Every structure is written in C-alpha cells, then in structure tokens.
Amino acid sequence: MISHPSDDSPLTVNVIINGAPRDVASEITIAALLAELEVSQRHVAVEVNRQLVPRARHAEYQLREGDCLEVVTLVGGG
Amino acid sequence: MALATQQPDARLNDSLRIGTHTLASRLIVGTGKYASYEQMAEALALSGTDCITVAVRRERLVNAAGQNILDHIDTARYTLLPNTAGCFTAEDAVRVARLGREILSGLENPGADWVKLEVLGDAKTLLPDPVATLEATEQLVAEGFQVLCYTSDDPVAARRLKQAGATSVMPAGSPIGSGQGILNPNNIRICLEYLKQDDPDYPVIVDAGVGTASDVTVAMELGVDGVLLNTGIAHAADPLAMAVAMKSAIEAGRLAYQAGRIPKKLYATASSPEAGNIAAKPR
C-alpha cells in the first residue's frame, strides 16, 4: 500500500454533542460547528469536556476525537 | 390630604438594591411554564417587574430554527437573572452559572455578573441541599459572581450563606411550585433578624412557594425586600390577571410593612367613642 499523507489525520472525528454522538470534520472549530448546526452564536454558550470555552475562542478551538460538548441556551424557568 | 395621598406613592419609589443592581420593582418573575412566549411577555409586562429569571438548558439542535426565548424578551427592559435550576451538585451548579454568564455577557445585559443559585437535594421536594449550596456559593463568590442563594427558611443556613459572601439570601416560603405560601413566617422573621442585624439594607427575598397574591403580601409585610415567583402567575387560570394581582400585592405588602401594622390583641378595642353613647351597656 502506498502511504498517503492524510492517512494519519482522519477526515472525521466522533464527538458527543448534547449527549448524542456525531461525526464532524477533523480539526473543525467550535465556530464552524455552530455554523454547521445553524445555531446562533449569540444565543448559546459552549462547554467542552465540562470546561467553558468562551465565545472569543470559538474560532480557534479545534475539536478532537471523543470531545464531549454541551451547547446551551436560555430557556424559560423560575 | 395631599400628604396622605402623596407620601405612600413616594414610598413606592423605593428601589430594591441587590449588590450592584438596582431594581424598580420588588417582584422578580420567572419565565417558565407559560402557555406561550406571547403570554409570558404580556404577563411579565403586567407584573411591573424589571428583573426576570431564566434557566440554562441544552440547545435543541434538531430544531435550530425554532423560537428562542430571547426573541421574546426585551433585554433592554429587563435585567436577566440566570439560574441554576435543576442542579443537584455544587459542581454542576457552578458549570451552569458560568454558562449563563457567558450567554448574558454576549447579550450586553447587566445580569451577566449575578446568578440565582439553586442546588437541590432531592427531585421530589426540590428542597435545597444546604451543604452543596454553601460550597457552590463559596466557589462562585471566588469567581466574582454576585450570588443570590435559594435556600430553605432555616435561619442558621441563611446566616452561613451570607457569611460565605452571598449577595442575597432567598429563603423559600414553601417548596418550589407548591403554592403553599409562607409556611413558617416565624423562620422568615428570624432569617430577617439574623441577616439584617447591623446590616439593615442586606437584601432578603422570598423565593418559591407563592400560590396567590396574599402570599406575596404576607411575605412583604414580614419585611422581606422582595419576592421571586413563577408558577403562581404562569399556572393561574388567568395568568395576565394574576400578574396584575401580584403587582398590587407586592406594593400593598411593602407599604403595609413601611406603615407599621397595629399589634394583635386578644380582645376588641372599639373604634367609635364611648362618650355620648345613648345605648345601655351590657352587664
């Protein structure tokens, strides 16, 4: 077999988003993922592996295999 | 007459200060359980509140085009108070508080620096876990939050939360959503005594249990600084009418507290003069 440069970097990684597994492009950023999910960045906050990732870092933060994300918003409550 | 009619109105302008926040209304209203966002928005407006609490939950990614509560809230009119409702550990409550702050800071709403802390001990009673509430308070205060603590009406727990740095202690009148009103006014009185000793402006808010307008008035007459409620309006048969009733109730209770009620006596005291009475007295 001929070795290909992309072999050691898979095309997708599996992450957990709000409790559900999902394949996303490898090295996708949080900002790109939110765009793909059609989520308004203004309305949400994002945690990766139980740590808040501030909005200012969404464009640079790349997701890795097995990352566990929470994408939350405000809802009615008392 | 002018004095009698103007002065109470002027007293109603006394604002509620909680940490760095100043609220015009002493009623804080929750945003859950309404039949629709439209009904919620109308009820909030009718209640006269300028502070509303909101919860933090997973975005429904399957229906991203669906409505968001933020589309129905005028964030210039209301200070949002994010809450940690539904958390059962200090760790989760701290995570949720951080997430709420992150969302609020993006909205440029003044509510980004405070949180209504709720750490529950039990799903059936929704009573607070006092130990975990204290732990979460310490952590959030260290992170710069102004913490408004939902707690039971236990005066000792209330005092410990204040000592831990809580900006406001919010004893429950009765269990969340139960509509049982103020079950133990004496405990609320002792909470007030402990929390306001040498610190009369420390804000104490009754949070939870309000069933109807008189419950709000009873709480305010005890001398608490405000009332937080949700279900009492949202699940009333007519939420809009109840919102108006709650507005009147908070004003009535505050004024009555300021006015100073008469002491309770066992026997009657006639309101009409005895002198000049032509009727014979019973023996």
Mean pLDDT on A22-33: 96
Residues of chain B positioned with their CB less than 8 A from the CB of A40: 68
Residues of chain B with pLDDT under 70: 1-13, 62-65
* Rounded-to-integer distance, Cα B2 and Cα B14, Å: 19
Domain contains A1: no
Number of helical (H) and strand (E) elements in chain A, helices listed first: 1, 5
CATH number of residue A34's parent domain:
3.10.20.30
Q: How far apart are the first and last CA of chain A?
A: 61
Q: How far does Cα B82 stand from its chain's mean position?
A: 14
Across A1-15, A62-76, B214-228, least confident range: A1-15
CATH number of residue B240's parent domain:
3.20.20.70
High-pLDDT (> 90) share of chain A, % = 79
Q: Kindly report the nearest CA distance between residue A40 and chain B, in angstroms.
A: 8
pLDDT band at A77 (very low <50, low <70, confident <90, very high): very high
Range of the domain at B241: 15-259
* Rounded-to-integer distance, Cα B207 and Cα B56, Å: 18
Q: Are B29 and B41 in contact (CB under 8 A)?
A: no
In the predicted structure, residue A8 carries a pLDDT above the cut 70? no
Nearest Cα to Cα of residue B68 among A72, A58, A47: A72
Is residue B196 flagged as an active site residue? no
Range of the domain at A13: 9-73
Domain contains B239: yes
Residues of chain A positioned with their CB less than 8 A from the CB of B79: none
Q: What is the pLDDT of residue B108?
A: 86
Active-site annotation holder among B116, B124, B247, B264: B116
**Cross-chain Cβ contact B54/A77 below 8 Å:** yes
B99 touches chain A (CB under 8 A): yes
How many structural domains comprise chain B?
1
Q: Kindly report the nearest CA distance between residue B73 and chain A, in angstroms.
A: 10
Domain contains A62: yes
Q: Are A71 and B103 in contact (CB under 8 A)?
A: no
Domain contains B53: yes
Q: What is the pLDDT of residue A3?
A: 47
Domain contains B191: yes
Q: Compute the mean pLDDT over every residue in chain A, rounded to the nearest whole number.
A: 90
Could you tell me if residue B74 is left (phi over 0), alpha (psi between -120 and 50 degrees) or otherwise beta? beta
* Rounded-to-integer distance, Cα B104 and Cα B101, Å: 5
Strands A44-48 and A12-17 turn out to be unpaired
Domain contains A3: no
How many structural domains comprise chain A?
1
Domain contains B38: yes
B 63-82 residues with CB below 8 A of A? 64-65, 68-70, 80, 82
Domain contains B185: yes
CB-CB: which of A37, A42, A75 is closest to B54?
A75
pLDDT band at A55 (very low <50, low <70, confident <90, very high): very high
Domain contains A2: no
Q: Kindly report the nearest CA distance between residue B275 and chain A, in angstroms.
A: 56
If 0-12 CB within 10 Å is exposed, 13-18 middle and 19+ buried, where does residue B51 land?
Answer: buried
**Cross-chain Cβ contact B99/A75 below 8 Å:** no
Residue A58 CB neighbours (<10 A): 18
Q: What is the pLDDT of residue A41?
A: 86
Domain contains B267: no
Q: Are B258 and B11 in contact (CB under 8 A)?
A: yes
Q: Are A36 and A26 in contact (CB under 8 A)?
A: no
**Cross-chain Cβ contact B31/A19 below 8 Å:** no
Domain contains A78: no
**Cross-chain Cβ contact B31/A78 below 8 Å:** yes
Domain contains A53: yes
Q: What is the pLDDT of residue B74?
A: 93
**The dihedral formed by the CA atoms of B51, B52, B53 and B57, expressed in degrees to the nearest 10:** -130
Q: What is the pLDDT of residue B11?
A: 60
Q: What is the pLDDT of residue B1?
A: 40
Q: Kindly report the nearest CA distance between residue B60 and chain A, in angstroms.
A: 9
Domain contains B9: no
Domain contains B124: yes
